[in-house]
Structure 1
Amino acid sequence: MAAKHTAGTDTGQKPRDGGEQGSRRGPSDDPGAVGRRVHRLRTERGLTQRQLAEPAYTAAYISTLEAGRVRPSEAAIRHLAERLGVTYEELETGRPAHLATDLRLRLVEAQRTLATGAAEEAVAAYIRLLAEAEQLGLDGERATALLGLGQCALETGELPVARERFEAAEKLLADAPLPQRAPAIRGRAVAHLLAGELRYACYLLESAIDELNASGLQDPGALLLLYTAAIAPYMDMGAHARAAQAGELALALAPQVSDPELVAGLHRGVARTLIAAGRTQEADASLARAAEIYQQLQIRTEMAHCHWMRGYVHAQDGDLSGAESELRAARDMLASKRAALYTAQVEVELADVLRRLGKRQEAEALLLRLLGELQADRGSVHAGGVHRLLGLIAEERSDLDRAEEHYVTALALLERAGAAGDLADICRLLGDLLRRAGRTEAAMDAYRTGLGHRAAPGSTTLGPAPVRPPAS
């Protein structure tokens, strides 16, 4: 296939709720702020300092606190909040608890808008919520809004913007435990993957997995998220054994994970490893499980990815009509959400199926249009797939010079991305073409290059494969 490499890339994981992380103190608070709030509330309620303090504290402590000479402990704030009839958060931050709760509910609504509608509609909501969270000093909710904006940018194909949003979220959560930072790390990795920076995507995910396992933090959800995300770059690099291992480790974690979207993403990722192993019936069953969950959750982008992958499965089995139907369904769903980059990637797959069905003119017209939409820094692996298919069509027309141009361009794009399996295929096609033209020495060079790339994907980053999680 022309673009088997990223079909079904795990890109739809919802941002985790930032929750209470970083939200307890507003940026304008000073050491005396709590004391002033205590004094105001105590006076409003007609309580003396002794009445407020007893039985755990003294009137002298309340006097010192209200004068701003001491910052109360968490236990002291909880005691005082109970006596004053307010929430812990309201006493500590000065804002009513319902403001943060309402903001979190609206973040969930923005995520629902992204799942069911176009990303542009969700962007406006997330930008408003980000501004509110900044005003209230709620860093956890700021991070959640930034994760949502990053996800929107992935859908619209604005990869530099996506990376910036995920990096900003990770920076906000710098002091949080790694499990809370995992969605931002995964988002950065996906952005680099879609830009064709496969090795760096692997590096980000493997580093986080190793750190999480080494830390002893038992968070099955974060580990499953990271292992699942690693499958796509492994597959694109031709490191099928590593992809299969990541899938096995994620499957072992699945019974401990309650988030259905995470589990659906796992089944979709594992399907890629099954397809590569020729186990298409098992892959189709795995995709069916994922699609059922996405249907229940009404997540249209992920449903489209399932159709995309099922189209590839049908094509592998020789059911080209079934493949065309699934790929057109995926294309239409993604186009309705204005997910331009993913739409273009599906159309590469569709063009391959159309060519194999004998609809060469339709396939070529589609591919020529896609040349302007897929560049080296935006879908480079699929851009290589476009040139591969145009080369095949040119060969079928006996236009060997044009075919060679397309194969050489595809080779350069795929070398830049490090897509080893596809590089080997392009080198074989180029070598065969050169051999038929009587250029034996050049053909041998192409074959040798392909063999080198096929042998390359033993280690995808600077070190060994990620360690297994500790036994529970």
Structure 2
Amino acid sequence: MTGQDLVGQRIKTVRRQRGLSQAQLAHPELSDSYVSLIESGKRTPTPAVLELLAEKLDCSLTYLINGVTAEQMQEIELALSYAQLALDNGEVVEARNRYAELLADSGLAGLPQLRQDTEYGLALATEACGDLEQAIVLLNGLRENDAVAMSPERHIAVAVALSRCYRETKDMAQAVRVPEQILTGAVRPAWTDGLMRLGGQLLAAYVNRGDLLRARQFSAEMLAAAELLASPQALTLAHWGAALVAVETGHADEAVTHAERALAIQSEYGDLRRLARLRSDYAQILLNVRPMEAEAWRDVLLKVESELAESSASAIDKMRCAMSLVRVDLLLARPERAEERMRFVCDLLDGMPKVMQADARLLHGETLAALGLRAEASRELLAGAEYLEQMPEIRFAAHAWLTAARVLERIDEPDRSVDAYKRALACVGL
């Protein structure tokens, strides 16, 4: 049944409930034949006619159009606001449950825009809960079912989230394909802040895939576009992307310059949660390019940890910061302190993406090896390897296998170490 049919059906139902004939409803402004055509779905009433009929029937215009009363509409909008607030505050399980309850409500059936908002919110909450596979299903459902109805801004936002989820699950082919469909088509759209966000996802996917030449070219393109846009968000994204590319291509000073530029802009214009995330990633970059200054970066990460605890950051953000602190403590030869923090990381593992679980298991194995607990380290490395074996042969997997190989060598497991080195080489095509 079409929307036009449903409107006519509602008018007919309310008219009968009021004990009115078609002629009585029509008189004197309309003809009874016109009312009959509306009720049968053969005519679409104008907004003015709908308003008139709602007044004559003593019902809300919202009900005639959408099938919900004004009170129901207010309840739905309030519930949607609470779900969004929960998501913004980092209460991701609560947000996911609220969005799911809303979608189960039949009242959304006649409210396509609110239904789309709810489906999008559910996808983001599901991603934040670490259920990336289901988030991908929901986001693809939005693209397939609402491609025409979606605004250009929502279309881009869905593509950003989808590319990010594919990258987190290490499906690099899809992580690249989704943004490239929009950004590298025959007709390139004019750059906007939204497209810069999508470009940031594409750049990260190029880096993760190991396509560093393309990443460097695209990073230069984004920097030029950001200078023209001159918006804080565009400049932050472009400089941050350039920093990531510089790290991967061995340009340490360039990486620090771009990272500090991005951080300065975000500090002036960005919200606290994004600023905390950026500081955490900034410290991680500096750990990679200036490990001798680990003590200073530890202080930065401790401040970030405090900011994340007081903000609406997700468990994933907190876990990443904690793992960075573990790595700092290992660099500073403080394995006991690293192990204390690893307990917090292990408590968060349930429900996390498999790639994060693999990374955490390997890091825990490295920590246990530093403590001289060879048997325990071996078990954690084995658990991490089981996750790695399920992943495609990409850049992250190469780094992870290399880490495993070095730790296995340290705990005197030469056969497994050699196998891990071979896996690392295979991931980079050697």
Say whether the fold is shared (TM-score over 0.5).
yes
The partner residue of 2:280 within 302, 305, 308 is 308
Superposed counterparts of 1:129-168, under 5 Å: 129-130=102-103, 134-135=107-108, 137-159=110-132, 162-163=135-136, 165-168=138-141
Paired with 1:262 and 1:105, the residues of 2 have a C-alpha distance of: 32
Paired with 1:328 and 1:438, the residues of 2 have a C-alpha distance of: 34
Partner of 2:332: 357
1:380 aligns with 2:354: yes
Structure 2 letter corresponding to 1:453: C
The partner residue of 1:417 within 352, 368, 391 is 391
Instruction: Please list the CA deviations of residues 199-241 of structure 1 after superposition, one character each: whole Å capped at 9, or x if unmatched.
Output: 2x54155145326754859475554343323344443343334
Bigger helix share: 2
Partner of 1:25: 3
**Where do 5+ consecutive residues of structure 2 fail to align?**
none
Paired with 2:86 and 2:28, the residues of 1 have a C-alpha distance of: 48
Pick closer, same or farther for the CA change 1:335–1:414 going to 2, 3 Å.
Answer: farther
Whether contact under 8 Å (2:11, 2:39) holds in the other structure is no
Whether contact under 8 Å (2:206, 2:212) holds in the other structure is yes
Partner of 2:341: 366
Paired with 2:347 and 2:54, the residues of 1 have a C-alpha distance of: 63
Superposed counterparts of 1:222-241, under 5 Å: 223-241=195-213
Pick closer, same or farther for the CA change 1:408–1:342 going to 2, 3 Å.
Answer: same
TM-score if structure 2 supplies the norm length? 0.71
TM-score if structure 1 supplies the norm length? 0.66
Partner of 2:181: 210
Identify the range of structure 1 (354-363 vs 203-212) with the bigger mean alpha-carbon deviation.
203-212
- For 1:304, what is the secondary structure of its paired residue? helix
Structure 1 letter corresponding to 2:181: D
1:77 aligns with 2:67: no
Paired with 1:323 and 1:384, the residues of 2 have a C-alpha distance of: 24
Paired with 2:47 and 2:381, the residues of 1 have a C-alpha distance of: 69
Pick closer, same or farther for the CA change 1:266–1:64 going to 2, 3 Å.
Answer: farther
Structure 2 letter corresponding to 1:210: Q
- 1:283 to partner: Cα distance: 1.3
Instruction: Please list the CA deviations of residues 72-105 of structure 1 after superposition, one character each: whole Å capped at 9, or x if unmatched.
Output: 2xxx624645877989977654667897688568
Paired with 2:96 and 2:386, the residues of 1 have a C-alpha distance of: 35
Larger RCO of the pair (alpha carbons < 8 Å, separation 6+): 1
Paired with 1:42 and 1:244, the residues of 2 have a C-alpha distance of: 72
Paired with 2:174 and 2:296, the residues of 1 have a C-alpha distance of: 37
Structure 1 letter corresponding to 2:260: D
Percent identity between the two aligned chains: 18
Pick closer, same or farther for the CA change 1:131–1:403 going to 2, 3 Å.
Answer: closer
1:47 aligns with 2:47: no
Paired with 1:162 and 1:47, the residues of 2 have a C-alpha distance of: 54
Identify the range of structure 1 (234-243 vs 35-44) with the bigger mean alpha-carbon deviation.
35-44
Paired with 1:114 and 1:41, the residues of 2 have a C-alpha distance of: 48
Partner of 1:317: 290
Pick closer, same or farther for the CA change 1:400–1:94 going to 2, 3 Å.
Answer: closer
Pick closer, same or farther for the CA change 1:367–1:32 going to 2, 3 Å.
Answer: closer
- 1:309 to partner: Cα distance: 0.7
The partner residue of 1:344 within 319, 325, 328 is 319
Instruction: Please list the CA deviations of residues 237-260 of structure 1 after superposition, one character each: whole Å capped at 9, or x if unmatched.
Output: 433344445545555555798997
Identify the range of structure 1 (355-364 vs 429-438) with the bigger mean alpha-carbon deviation.
429-438
